[in-house]
């Protein structure tokens, strides 16, 4: 039986924490689809196309090593995306208790409306403080985000937030 999972998110921008979850999911599933939310309710810093390109560039080495991982954008309900692509598992990283409370509610709703299970991966302790919104804020205020995101993402984010 082939197993497929989706790692959904806004990836605005993709962080080293996101990449860790994607890499770990790729070790457990035959195929992983990184699903970039095209129209998140918050105003994204990067377009969906830019976010897809950033994630794709950062997983090239993983794919070259044999992992079956691809990146796509989507709009609408995640369960509809899963149904359309034959995916039965959502794979999400959890940083702490606050994440669990909101993610559990979404997981239960996704199971109820879409018959999709959610698997949670505990975030590595050295990455547990990372969030895209915090990284964006630090970058916008002139702080260093080195080591929080890949170097190419760091450059793109600094350029974007500092020019307005």
Cα separation, 6 vs 58, whole angstroms: 17
Mean pLDDT of 131-149: 95
CA dist., res. 158 & res. 144, Å (int) = 10
- Token output for 97: 């208790």
| Residues 144, 137 contacting (CB under 8 angstroms) | no
Q: Is 42 tagged catalytic?
A: yes
Task: Choose, from 3, 28, 42, 112, the residue flagged as catalytic.
Answer: 42
pLDDT grade for 1, boundaries at 50, 70 and 90: very low
Q: Which of 24, 51, 95, 136 is catalytic?
A: 95
pTM of this prediction?
Answer: 0.94
| Mean pLDDT within 44-54 | 95
Cβ neighbours, 10 Å, residue 75: 11
End-to-end CA gap in the chain: 49
Q: How confident is the model at residue 38 (pLDDT cuts 50, 70, 90)?
A: confident
Active site residue 18: yes
CB atoms closer than 10 angstroms to residue 60: 10
The pLDDT score that the predictor gives to residue 113 is: 94
> How far apart are the C-alpha atoms of 100 and 51, rounded to whole Å?
25
Among 24, 73, 92, 132, the one annotated catalytic: 132
Catalytic residue among 10, 18, 51, 136: 18
Sheet-wide strand order for 31-37? 69-74, 31-37, 4-9, 89-94, 117-122
What is the tens place of the pLDDT at every residue in 68-82?
A: 999 999 999 999 999
């Amino acid at each position: 039986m082939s197993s497929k999972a989706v790692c959904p998110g806004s990836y605005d921008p993709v962080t080293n924490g996101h990449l860790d979850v994607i890499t770990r999911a790729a070790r457990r599933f035959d195929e992983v689809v990184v699903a970039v939310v095209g129209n998140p309710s918050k105003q994204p810093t990067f377009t969906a196309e830019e976010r897809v390109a950033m994630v794709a560039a950062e997983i090239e080495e993983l794919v070259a090593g044999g992992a079956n991982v691809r990146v796509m954008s989507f709009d609408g309900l995640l369960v509809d995306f899963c149904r359309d692509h034959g995916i039965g598992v959502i794979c999400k990283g959890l940083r702490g208790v606050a994440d669990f409370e909101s993610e559990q509610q979404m997981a239960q709703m996704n199971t109820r409306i879409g018959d999709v299970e959610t698997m949670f991966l505990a975030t590595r302790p050295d990455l547990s403080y990372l969030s895209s919104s915090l990284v964006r804020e630090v970058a916008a205020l002139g702080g260093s985000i080195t080591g929080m995101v890949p170097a190419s993402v760091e450059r793109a984010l600094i350029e974007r937030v500092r020019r307005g």
